[in-house]
Structure 1
Amino acid sequence: MNYILNIETSTKNCSVSIAKAGKTIICKEIAEEGYSHAERLHVFIEASLKEAGITYKDLSAIAVSQGPGSYTGLRIGVSAAKGLCFALDLPLIAVDTLKVLASQVTISNGLIVPMIDARRMEVYSAIFNTEFEKLREVQAEIINEDSFENLQDTIYFVGDCAEKCKAVLTKENFVFLDEIKYPSAKEMSVLSYEKYKKNDIVDVAYFEPFYLKDFLITTSKKQ
């Protein structure tokens, strides 16, 4: 039946969906300040399967949002997905978190810049066209008044960084879509199904989330 369980936990939004042939039939999610992913995720998975009228045995694959995003959130989502894949002998599909976020935008012209909050004025971002093709790879960058100044198209910003970025990203061609704040497993359905049809899967044993900033970990210098 090509049922896929989609898991998205890269931000404050703990999100789970069941998709059939690329169409979301059930989605359960909640965004809380306290990051309740550890408590909510498996409850959402069980409830989603029950409402969809299927069991784990009916699943064809499990998809997880790979990052970038919250270290803890990603670990919880990926650990759950890998555990289920091992137990059920299912393939694991990894989906780009920023593409999931960008996929909520419906425009005919312009560019899409999904942004996930890092800290202070730093964000994780990428640039997509209206076909959700990535025009610039993911970066961790400090946002200032010169950011994205070389882009002449109308730029649509989405993500949980709007409040802090609006003060500096003020050019006339910049548009903030405030209603699109977090990536959701709802938008993973099409993306994961396309990968499933191409057998674009990852190694369950060795797959790790895309943290992006691991290289910034340093040790203090001895005096």
Structure 2
Amino acid sequence: MIWLGIDTANTPLAIALVKDGQVIAEEVANIKLNHSGGAMPAIDRLFAHTKMKPADLDAIAVSEGPGSYTGVRIGVTIAKTLAWTLNIPIVGVSSLKVLAANVPYFPHVICSLVDARRQNVYAGAYSSKDSLEVIIEDGHYELEQLLNQLDALNQPILFVGHDVEVFYEKIVECLGERALRAPYPFNLPSASQLIYLAEQQPLPAAETVHAFVPTYKRIAEAEANWIKEKKAKQHD
């Protein structure tokens, strides 16, 4: 079975082709470029390098968020378009779980973290003891709110993600020696890891592709501003 994996949920871009449990080709880049202009060329490169073609695919795994609205939409749109055109299933996986899967042998709590700006983060916490059992649900959190929840666990916490560095000083202030950082090679998403996680889920029917939606975990800023303006007018 041949899978294409696509992760554009945040700044890094990760693409992979996996055939029958073997990684055929993979590309990861952590460059601040618009995924709208980078994702499809990266996919084309993988097909060209492997001498494969889209018609060879049996399924697509895509990072469903949370993360950048634009990034998540681009990856999901590409995945849905390919899946619909090829009449193959699409499987979504949490972008945060993909990061946590990079450090599966840590014996305590793994916290995936992505900068959501203004001292907010997208984050989720997992236990590696039971196939990444969810301890704190994926969500959009104020940093202080997240750290208080992690502090209450009273366990060592391994933070993973390329944005951890932005918040690590405050993380240590709250958690002290219980705060640990994953080595930098593990801080970027792996599209082959994404595919591996997708393979653990039931494979949906191909015709369900239209019902697939991203997981944003918060409303868009424009929508939030519209709601705020609407409420202000109601009070005038």
State the TM-score, normalized to the length of structure 1: 0.90
**Deviation of residue 201 (structure 1)?**
6.0
Note if contact 1:64-1:95 (Cα within 8 Å) is conserved in structure 2: yes
* Residue type at the aligned position of 2:7: E
Give me the whole-angstrom Cα distance separating, in 2, the residues matched to 1:154 and 1:160.
19
* Residue type at the aligned position of 2:30: A
Q: Can you give the 5+ residue segments of structure 2 that lack an aligned partner in the other structure?
A: none
Comparing both structures, which one devotes a greater share of its residues to helix?
2
Give me the whole-angstrom Cα distance separating, in 2, the residues matched to 1:205 and 1:106.
33
Q: Does 1:193 align with 2:199?
A: yes
Residue in 1 that maps onto 2:109: 111
How has the CA–CA distance of structure 1 residues 199 and 82 changed in structure 2, closer, same or farther, with 3 Å as cutoff? same
Give me the whole-angstrom Cα distance separating, in 2, the residues matched to 1:36 and 1:86.
24
Residue in 1 that maps onto 2:47: 49
Matches within 5 A, 1:71-150: 71-130=69-128, 131-144=131-144, 146-150=148-152
CA RMSD of aligned residues (A): 1.9
Note if contact 2:66-2:139 (Cα within 8 Å) is conserved in structure 1: no
Give me the whole-angstrom Cα distance separating, in 1, the residues matched to 2:198 and 2:171.
33
Q: Can you give the 5+ residue segments of structure 1 that lack an aligned partner in the other structure?
A: none
Q: Secondary structure at the match of 1:166?
A: helix
- 1:147-203: CA deviations, max 9, x gaps? 5111222110011332232121111111012513332313112112222xx324682
Note if contact 1:37-1:76 (Cα within 8 Å) is conserved in structure 2: yes
Number of residue pairs the alignment of both structures matches: 219
- 1:50-74: CA deviations, max 9, x gaps? 2223211211011110000000001
Moved more, 47-56 or 60-69: 47-56
State the TM-score, normalized to the length of structure 2: 0.85
* Residue type at the aligned position of 2:55: K
How has the CA–CA distance of structure 1 residues 154 and 138 changed in structure 2, closer, same or farther, with 3 Å as cutoff? same
- 1:91-117: CA deviations, max 9, x gaps? 111111111010111424111000111
Note if contact 1:162-1:178 (Cα within 8 Å) is conserved in structure 2: no
